[in-house]
Amino acid sequence: MAAEKAQVVVIGGGATGTGILRDLALRGISAILVEQGDLAHGTSSRFHGLLHSGARYAVKDKEAARECLEENMILRRIAPNCVENTGGLFVQLPEDNAEYADQWLAACAESGIPTEELDPRELRRNTPVLHHRVTRAFIVPDCAVDGFRVLWSNVNSARRYGARLYTYHSLTGIQQSNGKVTGVELTNQLTGERKYIECEMIINSTGAWGGAVAALAGIELNIIKDKGTLVAYNHRLTNQVVNRLRPPGDGDIFVPHGTITIFGTTSVTVNDAACTKPGHGEVLDLIKIGQEMIPDLENYRLIRAFAGVRPLYQAGNTAGGRSVTRNFALVDHQERDGLQGFISIVGGKFTTFRLMAEKTVDLAAKRLDVTAPCRTAEESLTSPVSEQWLERGKRVFGIPGAKKAADRLGDSFQRVVEEAEKNPDQRKIFCECEVVSLAEIVHVAGDGDSFTLGDIRRKTRMGMGTCQGTFCSYRTLGALSGYSQFAGNHREYLTKFLQKRWKGIRPVLWGQQLREAQLSSAIYCSLFGMERML
Ligand SMILES: Cc1cc2nc3c(=O)[nH]c(=O)nc-3n(C[C@H](O)[C@H](O)[C@H](O)COP(=O)(O)OP(=O)(O)OC[C@H]3O[C@@H](n4cnc5c(N)ncnc54)[C@H](O)[C@@H]3O)c2cc1C
């Protein structure tokens, strides 16, 4: 059988890889993206979800701060349904260095980041959960961003220009001939089948896995893996992102997302990119630090903890590589290691993924003799849902259901509403916590990219709310038994799904969440005959 061909194979379906795929496709370069799990399997779903204004970096790195601000503005414009324009606050407490606030203000001004000082009395009126001891507070243009939505929007946009995607395929071999990349060997993680793709170039955008992927080409790439733990509160504690006004450290950011809040984070060096188990001790430490800003923190219900691994590029290894900024590095392995057709992009932030992709594809295009310019900052990622379709959606899913579905589905909202109009049974809400209808679940199950209940969860948010899948997972599976990927052993599918949910619930098992867990355990262990939940 003839091998599939593409000019470029991009490895890694995180923010960086999906951004690169889109940029390549928009410049007319044929490209395939390969991801070992579902999209966002790595750090791009294990983060705060803060679209930085740059203010956090202004003192330490003005270049990074300016890049964040510029990319923040671009993403708001091209992907409004992925960004919630919450605004952000920087707050200082009496024990923080008072001089740092002035230094920070001057640095923000130098980086062009707008700031506005808020009277602490006004702050107490607007954000009563914050400590009354706050001495100074400033408003900045931070936002909340939905990682899953950005990634799928990148891929859907790239597909409109002919790009291809293989999820659940791992890169297991790199073929080379005479110092040139000639192809990749992939292994399907669900079936074990092997696949070969002929290509002229491989782009390694595998974040914390970058060193392991480079090793397949016989190249050394040193990446420090830095684990950060986060917790999700079952409440929107504040309407704005809240940052502590002091040099960046542990437990200093709260980000509201819809009805919940993500709080974190920590910083611990680990050996393995897949080391994403949050610890109970880390959670307790975080709460203790967070109480300095929100004294009542321990009384709010936590729904889960999770962790991500930051890929930090070890600068000592840059010999021959081209350091683009102090935050991300573009490594041209042709120049550095003499291997033609191999590029790595390492480090950075979610906020700057588009810029990282632009710099990477500029280099790839130069090597491939393509002159088309980057268009990712101008062309919209998704088209907005029209008022007319939103109104029709409200009639079938209710007001909150339609609004949430429109944000989640973007371009596909119209098709889901049409299905629900034709088939009233599909209007049923299957996940009450996140207001997800059967029509949306069925649409996602049939999109060709959903192989597990977890894939459906990530796209619809089914199972991500207060009940963490207790009520919606078995309903969803029951409704999808007609789909070949869900036709096998239902107990096994449910067990896998719930075990992943439990990984995040275990470190926060007390109070209301413990009661919820006992209910869940009773349902699944007694009614569905599962042996154990933990
Ligand atoms: C705790 C924490 C909080 C953060 N908060 C923020 C924030 O609020 N704002 C912000 O801007 N940034 C934040 N960051 C940074 C940001 O999340 C990351 O920089 C960004 O998500 C990295 O994206 P990426 O695409 O480079 O890597 P990833 O998202 O990790 O993607 C790499 C992908 O490569 C895949 N892969 C690996 N090996 C293979 C293989 N052999 N074959 C196929 N696929 C493979 C992986 O499965 C993975 O999906 C945070 C990071 C952490 C850890």
Beta strands across the sheet bearing 180-188: 4-5, 194-198, 180-188, 169-177
Are residues 318 and 185 part of one domain?
A: yes
> Ligand 1 mean position to 43 CA, how many Å?
3
CATH number at residue 214: 3.50.50.60
Tokens in use for 247?
Answer: 């040099």
Ligand 1 atom 27, closest CA: 207
Both 325 and 417 in a single domain? no
- pLDDT, position 318: 45
Specify the CATH number for the domain of residue 106.
3.30.9.10
Evaluate: CB of 52 within 6 angstroms of ligand 1: yes
End-of-domain residue from the set 288, 310, 332: 310
Going from the Cα of 42 to the center of ligand 1, the distance in angstroms, rounded, reads 5
- Which pairs count as long-range contacts for 482-490, CB under 8 Å and 24+ apart, including other chains? 483/445, 483/446, 485/445, 485/450, 485/451, 485/452, 486/445, 486/453
Tell whether 208 and 167 lie within a shared domain: yes
Cβ of 156 closer than 6 Å to ligand 1, yes or no, is: no
pLDDT score recorded for residue 325 = 44
Ligand 1 in contact with 54 (CB < 6 A)? no
User: Same domain for 36 and 109?
Assistant: no
**CB of 20 sitting under 6 A from ligand 1:** no
Inter-residue contact 360 to 204 (CB < 8 Å) = no
Would you say residue 118 lies in a domain? yes
Could you tell me if 399 and 436 lie in one domain? Answer: yes
Same domain, 334 and 463: no
- Residue 308 Cβ < 6 Å to ligand 1: yes
The best mutation among 32, 39, 43, 48 to test binding of ligand 1, ranked by most ligand atoms within 8 Å of the C-beta, falls on 43
Note whether 284 and 153 are same-domain residues: no
Q: What is the pLDDT of residue 513?
A: 87
The number of domains in the chain is 3
Instruction: Using alpha carbons, list the distances in angstroms from residue 511 to 103, 270, 296.
Output: 42, 31, 15
Q: What is the pLDDT of residue 532?
A: 64
Q: How far is the CA of 44 from the centre of ligand 1 (A)?
A: 4
Positions in the chain whose pLDDT score sits under 70: 1-2, 315-326, 532-534
Q: Is the CB of 43 under 6 A from ligand 1?
A: yes
Q: Are residues 203 and 232 in the same domain?
A: no
Residue 418 in tokens: 């049409």
Q: Give the start-end residues of each E strand in 194-291.
A: 194-198, 201-204, 223-233, 241-244, 253-257, 260-264, 268-270
User: What residues contact residue 132 under an 8 Å CB cut-off, 6+ apart?
Assistant: 124
pLDDT at 492: 86
440 sits in which H/E element: helix 438-445
Residue 145 Cβ contacting ligand 1 at under 6 Å: no
Phi, psi of 389 (to 5 degrees): -70, -35
**Residue 410 CB–ligand 1 contact under 6 Å:** no
Same domain, 196 and 318: yes
E-only strand ranges, 102-156: 116-118, 136-140, 143-145
* Domain assignment present for 213: yes
Residue 66: inside a domain, yes or no? no
Measured between alpha carbons, how far is 156 from 14 in angstroms, rounded to an integer? 14
Give the tokens for residue 430: 């299957």
Is the residue at 262 inside a domain?
Answer: yes
61 belongs to a structural domain:
no
Does residue 442 line the site of ligand 1, with CB under 6 A? no
Residue 373, in any domain of the structure: no
In a domain, 249, yes or no: yes
CA 48 to ligand 1 centroid distance, Å: 12
The answer as to whether 351 is a domain residue is yes
* Cα(78)–Cα(19) distance, integer angstroms: 13
Which of 89, 309, 325, 342 minimizes the C-alpha distance to 214? 342
Does residue 102 sit in helix, strand or coil? helix
Q: Atom 33, ligand 1: which residue's CA is nearest?
A: 12
Is the minimum distance from the CB of 42 to ligand 1 under 6 angstroms? Answer: yes
Are both 436 and 500 inside the same structural domain? yes
Which structural domain range is residue 195 located in?
Answer: 4-43+148-222+314-367
The answer on 186 and 167 residing in a single domain is yes
Ligand 1 pocket residue status of 204, Cβ below 6 Å: no
Query: Per the structure block, which two tokens stand in for 1?
Result: 């059988």
Closest approach atom of ligand 1 to CA 253:
8
Whether residues 247 and 351 share a domain: the answer is no
Of 291, 310, 329, the position where a domain reaches its end is 310
Coil vs helix vs strand at 37: coil
pLDDT value of position 315: 65
Measured CA to CA, the distance from residue 516 to residue 292 in angstroms comes to: 28
Cβ–ligand 1 contact at 44 (below 6 Å): yes
Q: Is 463 in the pocket of ligand 1 (CB under 6 A)?
A: no
